[in-house]
């Protein structure tokens, strides 16, 4: 059964309100159901990052509200908000995703330790995730010893580990070559199908956009197009 | 995991960690060395000064130190004396009867201090016997005196000559006597070398018509650190009517000199720690800026700020602790060596020292308190500076932090 995980009403974010107001977001309505695989596209400066930060509880809107699985996160502050993010939202950033002094395995373990999961549970889950991202043989390598694509895979696994309601990925492929970018997206799609994990990612890479089921186009802080969920054309998933 | 993270983060920028650790260890080494030297030199000085004549503690009748007259003396009281001797930490006591008198060899007369004492006890405290340069040291029942060399020269006297002593006795009586000179003693200080006559206590009491009278009881103690507690014990034992003074009160000039010197060293140590503080702070600052994005990411994915701050404080403390430990490990053998093989001064200073009967050695003190104090200092500084990341993390906005 699908249900609403993200409900954003009339999101507005204004910068420099006193001088020349800059509307990074200008009245965005967004409704996302569990299991969706959504790309947010738009030119640079259109508000993609701002929108994702709003939904992720990293930034507060000037007006409007964000409701995650029934919780209005604008009412959460400080530690409550951090805990909410830890337990409900997975993050993949463009860069600086991993702790450089920890191995791939430890990076994934780390977030579950923050959740105070039992070491037995952590072990099972981490092994499972390493298998899913195909990096079992690199488990004990530090980020510096991994390729950009491998690092982003670990970041996805890390985001997935706490079993969040959804994963936000802000231009996860921006620093990758097109082959690695394609592979990362394939992996994310696979997780979307197998684990029913909801993904929301921003990009302006056309080949990445092609893999999305739903594409939201932003321009000047407004949604100008919201494609209906479509069937994926990628050969891997034609069934 | 947090501990593992802190530890690995230390080795992240090896050069910087190495520089930080090295500078902390060097500061600790320097500070410990300075303190240990100063403490050692002062302890040595005090020991020399105190064992010269004064002792660590003296007991008098109240008012004697202000007005040193026989009428301010007190009667020897065996049980009181025994109680003092039996106090823990008291190594020995010397009862004395001291009076300023005129001495003469016939044609010349001079004023000087006549000290009636128990020769064996006196020797234990001040090593007087070793200062004999001619003749022999006193015995308790002798009816003779030993006098300072300089004085003997001025009076044109030598051993076996007769010394005439004149002056006022107890309660206004006349005191006069003639005594053979049994030996000569040499004092480093010219002032003292011109002004001391020692005689057995009973003989002095006889001369001054002051049977059983003492002016002071001088104490030798085994551990100078216990001086104040021993002093307090004696005060509660003796009650009113007596004054119990320690060497700092008896020799205020020396005590003040040490205090002043200690203060200037404290300033120096302070500057040293200030520099080290800056070093540590620089490390923390650079580390904070360098890892800004990482901190932003950690907070974004769900690490509480308090937890992150604790990790950073832990890193600072860890690096400081390593620095302190290395500093102490380096200073230990050095200080121990200098304690066992003290630096010996040469040249003029050595001559001055020797003149005053001091050995011109500069031993280091190995008091554990010095190490403890200096390490605590550095760790406190580190802990205080470690508060900076606390503030840095507190105001960190993950979105801003992760921007490049
Ligand atoms: N902290 C900020 N202060 C002022 N303007 C900002 C700030 N963050 C973003 N903006 C502006 O908001 C707009 C949207 O930015 P962003 O959401 O980063 O766009 P995108 O991710 O699509 O490139 C841009 O014009 C950007 O300059
Ligand atoms: Mg962006």
Q: How confident is the model at residue B43 (pLDDT cuts 50, 70, 90)?
A: confident
* Atom 24 (ligand 1) nearest CA: A45
CA–CA distance, B10 with B1 (Å, rounded to integer)? 14
Indicate the SS3 state at residue A89: strand
Find the helix or strand (DSSP H, E) in which B94 lies. Answer: strand B90-104
A56 C-alpha to ligand 2 centroid (Å): 14
Contact flag A97-B297 (C-beta cutoff 8 Å) = yes
Percent of chain A residues topping a pLDDT of 70: 95
Residue A4 domain flag: no
Q: What is the mean pLDDT of residues B231-242?
A: 86
The confidence score (pLDDT) of residue A238 equals 46
Residues B268, B272, B273: CA angle, nearest 5 degrees: 120
> Please, what is the end-to-end C-alpha distance for chain B in angstroms?
28
Percent of chain B residues topping a pLDDT of 70: 97
Dihedral of the alpha carbons of B370, B372, B374, B377, in degrees to the nearest 10 = -140
Q: What DSSP string runs through A49-69?
A: HHHHHHHTTSS--SEEEEEET
The distance of B317 to chain A (nearest Cα, Å) reads 19
Q: How confident is the model at residue B251 (pLDDT cuts 50, 70, 90)?
A: confident
Domain B69-214 has what CATH class? mainly beta
Looking at every residue in chain B, the average pLDDT score rounds to 87
- Residues B275-290 have pLDDT tens digits of 888 888 888 888 888 8
CA–CA distance, A127 with B211 (Å, rounded to integer)? 98
Is residue B13 predicted with pLDDT exceeding 90? Answer: no
Q: How confident is the model at residue B83 (pLDDT cuts 50, 70, 90)?
A: confident
**Neighbour count for residue A79 (Cβ, 10 Å):** 12
CA–CA distance, B353 with B10 (Å, rounded to integer)? 50
- What single-letter DSSP state applies at residue A17? S
**ipTM > 0.95 (yes/no):** no
CA–CA distance, B43 with B364 (Å, rounded to integer)? 9
Contact flag B303-A79 (C-beta cutoff 8 Å) = no
Q: Would you say A167 and A88 are in contact if contact means Cβ atoms under 8 Å apart?
A: no
CA dihedral over A180, A183, A189, A191, signed as positive or negative = negative
CA–CA distance, A108 with A110 (Å, rounded to integer)? 5
Q: How confident is the model at residue B357 (pLDDT cuts 50, 70, 90)?
A: low
- Residues B294-324 have pLDDT tens digits of 999 999 999 999 999 988 888 888 888 999 9
> Between β-strands B216-221 and B57-61, what pairing exists: parallel, antiparallel or unpaired?
antiparallel
The confidence score (pLDDT) of residue B165 equals 93
A81 C-alpha to ligand 1 centroid (Å): 23
CB distance from A86 to chain B under 8 Å? yes
Q: Would you say A235 and A68 are in contact if contact means Cβ atoms under 8 Å apart?
A: no
Is residue A184 predicted with pLDDT exceeding 50? Answer: yes
Structural domain containing residue A100: 36-46+78-238
Q: How confident is the model at residue A239 (pLDDT cuts 50, 70, 90)?
A: very low
Query: Which of A84, A96, A107, A143 best probes binding to B when mutated, by most B CB atoms within 10 angstroms?
Result: A96
Q: Would you say B217 and B94 are in contact if contact means Cβ atoms under 8 Å apart?
A: yes
CA–CA distance, B318 with B305 (Å, rounded to integer)? 20
- Residues A100-143 have pLDDT tens digits of 999 999 999 999 999 999 999 999 999 999 999 999 999 999 99
Query: Going by C-beta distance under 8 Å and a sequence separation of 6 or more, which residues neighbour residue B279?
Result: B19, B20, B23, B24
B32-51 b/e (C-beta count within 10 Å ≥ 16 → b): bbbbbbbbbbbbbebeebbb
Is residue A234 predicted with pLDDT exceeding 60? Answer: no
CA dihedral over A106, A112, A115, A121, signed as positive or negative = negative
Number of domains in chain A: 1
Q: Which of B11, B296, B304 sits opposite A79 (nearest CB)?
A: B304
CA–CA distance, B363 with B367 (Å, rounded to integer)? 12
Indicate whether residue A49 lines ligand 1 (CB < 6 A): yes
Residue A51 domain flag: no
Most confident range, picked from A157-166, B254-263, B380-389: A157-166
Q: What is the mean pLDDT of residues A185-200?
A: 93
Domain residue ranges of chain B, discontinuous segments joined by +: 2-50+255-402, 69-214
The distance of B290 to chain A (nearest Cα, Å) reads 12
Residue A70 domain flag: no
B110 C-alpha to ligand 1 centroid (Å): 100
User: Which of A40, A47, A54, A56 gets mutated to test ligand 1 (max ligand atoms within 8 A of its CB)?
Assistant: A47
User: Contacts of residue B294 in chain A, CB cutoff 8 Å?
Assistant: 96, 99-100
Contact flag A58-B300 (C-beta cutoff 8 Å) = yes
Most confident range, picked from B47-51, B119-123, B237-241, B268-272: B119-123
Q: How confident is the model at residue A93 (pLDDT cuts 50, 70, 90)?
A: very high
Q: What is the CATH number of the domain that holds A82?
A: 3.40.50.300
Contact flag A101-B1 (C-beta cutoff 8 Å) = no
């Amino acid at each position: 059964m699908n249900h609403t995980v993200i409900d954003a009403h009339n999101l507005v974010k204004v910068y420099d309100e006193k001088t020349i107001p800059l509307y990074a977001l200008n009245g965005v309505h967004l409704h996302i159901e569990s299991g969706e695989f959504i790309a947010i596209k738009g030119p640079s400066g259109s508000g993609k990052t701002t929108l994702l930060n709003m939904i992720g509880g990293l930034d507060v809107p000037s007006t409007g509200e964000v409701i995650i699985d029934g919780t209005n996160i604008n009412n959460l502050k400080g530690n409550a908000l951090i805990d909410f993010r830890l337990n409900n939202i997975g993050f993949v950033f463009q860069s600086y995703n991993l702790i450089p002094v920890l191995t791939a395995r430890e990076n994934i373990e780390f977030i579950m330790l923050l959740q105070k999961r039992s070491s037995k549970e952590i072990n099972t889950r981490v092994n499972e995730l390493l298998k899913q991202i195909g990096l079992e043989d690199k488990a004990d390598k530090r980020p510096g010893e991994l390729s950009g694509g491998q690092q982003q895979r670990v970041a996805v696994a890390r985001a997935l580990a706490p079993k969040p309601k959804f994963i936000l990925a802000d231009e996860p492929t921006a620093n990758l070559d097109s082959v690695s970018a394609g592979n990362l997206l394939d992996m994310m799609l696979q997780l979307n199908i197998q684990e029913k994990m909801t993904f929301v990612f921003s990009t302006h890479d056309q080949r990445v956009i092609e893999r999305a089921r739903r594409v939201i186009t932003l321009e000047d802080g407004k949604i100008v197009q919201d494609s209906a969920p479509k069937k994926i054309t990628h050969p891997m998933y034609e069934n | 995991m947090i501990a593992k993270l802190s530890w690995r983060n230390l080795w992240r920028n090896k050069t910087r960690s190495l520089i930080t650790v090295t500078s902390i260890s060097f500061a600790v080494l320097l500070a410990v060395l300075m303190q240990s030297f100063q403490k050692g030199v002062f302890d040595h000085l005090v020991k020399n000064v105190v064992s010269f004549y004064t002792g660590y503690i003296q007991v008098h009748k109240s008012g004697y130190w202000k007005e040193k007259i026989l009428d301010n003396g007190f009667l020897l009281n065996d049980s009181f004396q025994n109680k003092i001797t039996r106090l823990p930490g008291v190594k020995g006591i010397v009862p004395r009867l001291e009076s300023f008198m005129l001495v003469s060899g016939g044609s010349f007369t001079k004023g000087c201090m006549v000290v009636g004492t128990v020769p064996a006890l006196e020797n234990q405290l001040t090593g007087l016997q070793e200062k004999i340069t001619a003749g022999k040291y006193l015995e308790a029942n002798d009816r003779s005196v030993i006098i300072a060399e300089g004085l003997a020269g001025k009076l044109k006297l030598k051993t076996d000559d007769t010394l005439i002593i004149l002056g006022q006795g107890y309660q206004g009586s006349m005191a006069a006597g003639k005594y053979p000179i049994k030996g000569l003693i040499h004092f480093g200080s010219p002032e003292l070398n011109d002004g001391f006559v020692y005689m057995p206590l009973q003989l002095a009491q006889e001369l001054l018509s002051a049977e059983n009278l003492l002016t002071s009881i001088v104490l030798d103690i085994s551990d100078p650190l216990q001086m104040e507690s021993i002093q307090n014990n004696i005060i509660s034992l003796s009650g009113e009517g007596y004054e119990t003074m320690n060497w700092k009160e008896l020799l205020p000039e020396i005590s003040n000199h040490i205090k002043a010197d200690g203060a200037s060293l404290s300033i120096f140590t302070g500057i040293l720690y200030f520099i080290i503080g800056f070093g540590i702070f620089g490390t923390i600052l650079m580390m904070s800026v360098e890892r800004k994005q990482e901190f932003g990411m950690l907070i974004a994915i769900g690490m509480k700020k308090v937890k992150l701050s604790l990790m950073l404080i832990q890193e600072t403390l860890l690096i400081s602790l390593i620095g302190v430990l290395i500093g102490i490990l380096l200073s230990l053998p050095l200080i121990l060596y200098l304690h066992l093989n003290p630096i010996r001064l040469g040249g003029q200073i050595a001559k001055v020292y020797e003149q005053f009967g001091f050995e011109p050695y500069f031993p280091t003190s190995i008091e554990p308190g010095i190490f403890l104090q200096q390490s605590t200092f550095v760790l406190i500084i580190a802990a205080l500076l470690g508060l900076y990341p606390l503030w840095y993390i507190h105001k960190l906005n993950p979105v801003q932090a992760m921007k490049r």
